[in-house]
Amino acid sequence: MNSENSGSAGQAGEILAGVDLEIAHELPGRIRLKGPFLSHPALDIPFFEAYILAIEGVEDVRINRKASSILIEYHGNSHTRDRILSSLAVPPKEALSDQRHTDTRTEADVSGMIMSAAVLLALPILPMRLRAVISWLSVSPVILEGATTLVTKGLKVEVLDATAVTMVMLRGDYFTANAVHLLLRTGDYIHHTTETNSDRLIRSLLKPETGMVWVEEEGTERQIPISEILPGQLVVVGAGDLIPIDGRIEQGTALVNQASMTGEPVPVRKEVGDTAMSGTVVEEGRIKIKAVGVGSETATARISRYIESSLKTKSVAQRESEKLADSLVPLTFALGGVMAVLTRDLRRATAVFMVDYSCAIKLSTPVCIKIAMYQAGKKGVLVKGGQAIEAMAEVDTIVFDKTGTITTGQFEVTDCISLVEDLDSDGLLALAASAEEHYSHPIADAVVRAAKEKSLVFYDHSEVDFIVAHGVATYVDEKRLLIGNEHFLKDDEGIDFSPVPEIKSRLRDEGKALLFVALDSRLIGVIALRDTIRPEVRAVIARLKELGVRRTVMLTGDDHTRAKAIAESLGLDEFYSELLPEDKVSKIAEFQANGSKVAFVGDGINDAPALMEAEVGISMAQGSDIARATAEVVLLEEGLVGVALAREVSVKTMGLIRTNFGLAVGINSSILIGATLGWLSPLASAILHNTSTIGILLNALTGVSLEQNQAPKER
């Protein structure tokens, strides 16, 4: 056992700086801290729990505001413990905010339910006077809550419950009063348990990335986890790498693709003194960045913000059901009052007061939403709240970006055609790979990978020149070697392309990208590559059709021929090619103007504007931070299976909400009619109402049956 984790004896009394938290008790992998900060009225407990839970290694977090304590369970090692303590010492400013003090979340309290049940069981053996005293004490929280609600919020369900319980108590029917109290507490317990557990799971779904990064220290470069970068360190980023931190460029020059953050389609030149943003990509060059915005605190705070926003967002259905439920409370009061005046039968009026639509209508919808988020999250899809579920259920058009979405973004060599007799296909591949191995680019990587898979011997060559957006040039045996696209070799370098028109046409008709190789001003070969299509795409598209999606569309910057080949092979309804990033946004707006409700699926490299434009933005698992923050749906696992699952869970959840709404209205209307006609006693009315409410909650708790337990199989 590490001495740092040796228990409370050696740790009690240790004070954390900043928020003044004291370690009250500690075991390996488990630590409890106390301090007035945790009972601060402006502390946003769900946000702060999510902030700590997002730290790598943390398994569970529970804050008890009344006890001013936080309990954290984690993988038992000193590094995780240190990160927890440093995060608690200087929490993000968002944890305390005037806008967050209204959070009224309560923990599920089984003790109230047990006490109520104990009083109910003890009533028959207690003397009459003691029954009255204990019963009034037992139900007083309900009456007090009703009085407080009446003063602060007006006629709500709490007032109705308090009125009904008070009337039963005044009639001396202590058994009925305590039975109603037990039913209320049971319903509250089920609701809060469900909400707490589902929220906790959802917050644990999105963890910060744990990749590696190169840093320079005293002239030497070493690789460390991203989470261990410290302010002031020099972070080294090369071509093709994602910039992991915010900072200032100290050395080097690079072309940086900032589309994931700004939406700009054209890479920006960055040099010494310029600012570098995390989440952007170095396309060419190599830079050293002095880290400024770093650490798990920054990443987890950002993640926590958009998880918490998803939990707090209400759908239109939820807002409307709450509005309807609140409007029915005065009607129930009025009906009970009329019955009391007309019949002078307080028993009948009390039976009416025992029935309200609010509980089932108000509670079942958010529970359905939380369970849907829970189910989707367990299967690798983060759906951000009720609005996202509702919008996804209404979508009729799903638009896919091609590169990185329909395809993996990883090219593979499919053809290697030599045009000269003294060089076979393997020799051509080895020659091209010799120069391309110095260039970080998906096509270059594919060529090098193919050559290495064949164990080919690379050629010696001079220093390689990189021509931006064109290709590479070097010398082999004093002969100039050029590798690149047709425009580079033909238009810029004057290479004769007359030997290859038929080859070009055939390969392009097959949807392949072409790389041309020239040696000593002569075209010597063609290498064809294909972006790998995700194997599940066709099955996912077919499943979306089964789930009611009317139209599937692909948008791409590729040429028409290649785009057509891919779209036809996958069974897509439409495709649009040769588009710039801003054209994709225009296409989505065009679909919407024609009445379509659109979901857009992209990887976030240059898709952030399109994700924001669509009714539902869906970010791929490898999407940038800004894409994942912007999107309403985030796929947590690689591939497109989650798109169909998000649609399925949304459609079925909205159906379950409608079913529960119908049950709540139908059952409670029937009970209300029975109470009004005098057919039901207050106890019978309360039992029927509360058990039906619990039944509807349990129906919501079961969630929806999802057919996709694994990736759809190709048909």
Between 30-39, 361-370, 373-382, 589-598, the lowest mean confidence (pLDDT) is in 361-370
- DSSP-assigned letters across all residues of 200-237: HHHHTS-PPP--EEEEEETTEEEEEEGGG--TTPEEEE
Number of H helices, E strands in the chain: 24, 24
**152 pLDDT above the threshold of 80:** yes
Q: What is the mean pLDDT of residues 631-651?
A: 91
Rg (alpha carbons) of the chain, rounded to whole number = 32
pLDDT at 2: 38
pLDDT at 200: 62
Specify the higher pLDDT residue, 596 or 258: 596
- Cα separation, 280 vs 643, whole angstroms: 25
Give residue-wise pLDDT tens across range 342-382: 877 777 888 887 777 666 776 777 778 888 887 888 888 88
**266 pLDDT above the threshold of 60:** no
Signed CA dihedral, 162, 168, 170, 172: sign only:
negative
pLDDT at 397: 97
**263 pLDDT above the threshold of 80:** no
- DSSP-assigned letters across all residues of 100-132: GTT-------HHHHHHHHHHHHHGGGS-HHHHH
Q: What is the mean pLDDT of residues 671-689?
A: 84
Q: What is the mean pLDDT of residues 326-337?
A: 76
- Domains and their CATH numbers in the chain: 3-100 (3.30.1370), 230-293 (2.70.150.10), 372-407+534-647 (3.40.50.1000), 408-533 (3.40.1110.10)
Between 233-237, 319-323, 616-620, the lowest mean confidence (pLDDT) is in 319-323
Residue 690 and residue 183 in contact, taking contact as beta carbons nearer than 8 Å: yes
Give residue-wise pLDDT tens across range 369-380: 888 887 888 888
Q: How confident is the model at residue 571 (pLDDT cuts 50, 70, 90)?
A: very high
Provide the 8-state DSSP code for 29.
Answer: T
Tokens representing 452 are: 């290495």
**564 pLDDT above the threshold of 50:** yes
Q: How confident is the model at residue 3 (pLDDT cuts 50, 70, 90)?
A: very low
pLDDT at 296: 43
- Cα separation, 665 vs 650, whole angstroms: 23
Containing H/E element for 519?
A: strand 513-519
- Cα separation, 400 vs 552, whole angstroms: 8
Query: 390: buried, middle or exposed (CB in 10 Å: 19+, 13-18, 0-12)?
Result: buried
**477 pLDDT above the threshold of 50:** yes
- Cα separation, 458 vs 297, whole angstroms: 46
pLDDT at 262: 52
Give residue-wise pLDDT tens across range 616-625: 999 888 776 6
Between 118-127, 308-317, 452-461, the lowest mean confidence (pLDDT) is in 308-317
Tokens representing 689 are: 């109402």
pLDDT at 706: 76
pLDDT at 394: 94
Share of the chain above pLDDT 70, in %: 82
Provide the 8-state DSSP code for 488.
Answer: I
The Cα angle at residue 626 between residues 391 and 229, in degrees rounded to 5: 145
Q: How confident is the model at residue 430 (pLDDT cuts 50, 70, 90)?
A: very high
- Nearest partner of 675 among 208, 390, 338, judged by Cα: 338
- Cα separation, 401 vs 581, whole angstroms: 10
Catalytic residue set: 401
3-17, 192-206, 239-253, 520-534 — most confident range: 520-534
**265 pLDDT above the threshold of 70:** no
Specify the higher pLDDT residue, 568 or 229: 568
Q: How confident is the model at residue 451 (pLDDT cuts 50, 70, 90)?
A: very high
Burial 110-135 (b: 16+ CB within 10 A, else e): eebbebbbebbeebeeeeeeebeebb
- Cα separation, 706 vs 375, whole angstroms: 9
- Cα separation, 501 vs 547, whole angstroms: 45
**210 pLDDT above the threshold of 70:** no
Query: 260: buried, middle or exposed (CB in 10 Å: 19+, 13-18, 0-12)?
Result: buried
Distances (CA, A) of 85 to 46, 354, 515: 19, 50, 54
CA 69 to chain CA mean position, Å: 28
Torsions phi, psi for 437 (to 5 deg): -65, -15
User: What is the overall mean pLDDT for the chain?
Assistant: 80
Order across the sheet with 58-64: list the strands.
22-27, 30-34, 69-74, 58-64
Q: How confident is the model at residue 641 (pLDDT cuts 50, 70, 90)?
A: very high
pLDDT at 518: 95
Tokens representing 160 are: 């109705």
Signed CA dihedral, 138, 141, 144, 146: sign only:
negative
pLDDT at 454: 93
Do strands 281-293 and 234-238 pair parallel, antiparallel, or not at all (unpaired)? antiparallel
Provide the 8-state DSSP code for 12.
Answer: T
* Residues in Cβ contact with 409 at an 8 Å cutoff, skipping those fewer than 6 apart: 403, 442, 531, 603
